[in-house]
C-alpha cells in the first residue's frame, strides 16, 4: 500500500546513473555492457512496478474511485435491464404470432439442455479410462 523509500532509491539509481553509464559502454562496444543495461533496466522496472502498484492501491482505497466506478456500473446495468425488459415484451407480444416460442418456454428448454449436457458430461467422465480405478467406490445417490 505505501510506497517504499528503497523503491524510489532503486529507481533513481537505475535511471539516473546505471542505465546511462551502461548505455554509454554499450555504444562504445564494451563486451559485458548488454548484461549491465539489462540488469539496470530490470532494476528500474521492478522499482517502478512496486511504486505504481502502491500508488494505484492508494487511489483505490483513499479516493472516491470505486464510488465513481460503481455509479457508472449502476447506470449501465439500469440501461441493460431496461433493454432486457423491452426485448422480453417484444418477444412475448410478437413471438407466438410468428411461430416463435415464448420466453418461458425458451428458458425451460435452456434449463433442460443444461441438465442433459451435465448428465452427458458425467457419463462421459465415467466411461473414460482413468488409472487407479480399482477403488471399490460406490455411487452415492
Contacts of 91 (CB under 8 A, 6+ apart): 100, 102, 103
For residues 99, 102, 105 and 110, what is the CA-based torsion angle, rounded to 10 degrees? 90
Nearer to another protein, 93 or 140 (CB): 140
Q: Is 34 in the site for another protein (CB under 8 A)?
A: yes
Interface residues toward another protein, by CB under 8 A: 1, 26, 34-35, 37-38, 41-42, 45, 49, 52-53, 56-57, 60-61, 66-67, 69-70, 73-74, 77-78, 80-81, 84, 107, 110-111, 113-115, 117-118, 121-122, 124-126, 130-133, 135, 137-140
Amino acid at each position: 500500500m505505501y510506497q517504499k523509500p528503497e523503491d524510489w532509491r532503486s529507481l533513481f539509481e537505475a535511471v539516473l546513473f546505471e542505465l546511462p553509464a551502461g548505455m554509454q559502454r554499450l555504444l562504445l562496444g564494451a563486451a559485458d555492457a548488454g548484461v549491465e543495461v539489462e540488469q539496470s533496466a530490470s532494476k528500474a522496472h521492478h522499482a517502478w512496478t512496486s511504486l505504481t502498484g502502491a500508488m494505484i492501491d492508494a487511489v483505490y482505497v483513499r479516493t472516491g474511485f470505486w464510488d465513481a466506478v460503481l455509479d457508472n456500473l449502476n447506470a449501465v446495468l439500469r440501461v441493460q435491464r431496461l433493454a432486457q425488459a423491452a426485448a422480453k415484451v417484444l418477444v412475448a407480444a410478437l413471438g407466438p404470432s410468428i411461430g416463435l416460442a415464448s420466453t418461458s418456454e425458451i428458458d425451460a428448454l435452456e434449463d433442460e439442455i443444461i441438465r442433459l449436457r451435465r448428465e452427458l458430461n458425467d457419463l462421459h467422465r465415467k466411461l473414460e479410462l482413468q488409472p487407479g480405478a480399482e477403488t471399490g467406490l460406490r455411487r452415492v445417490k
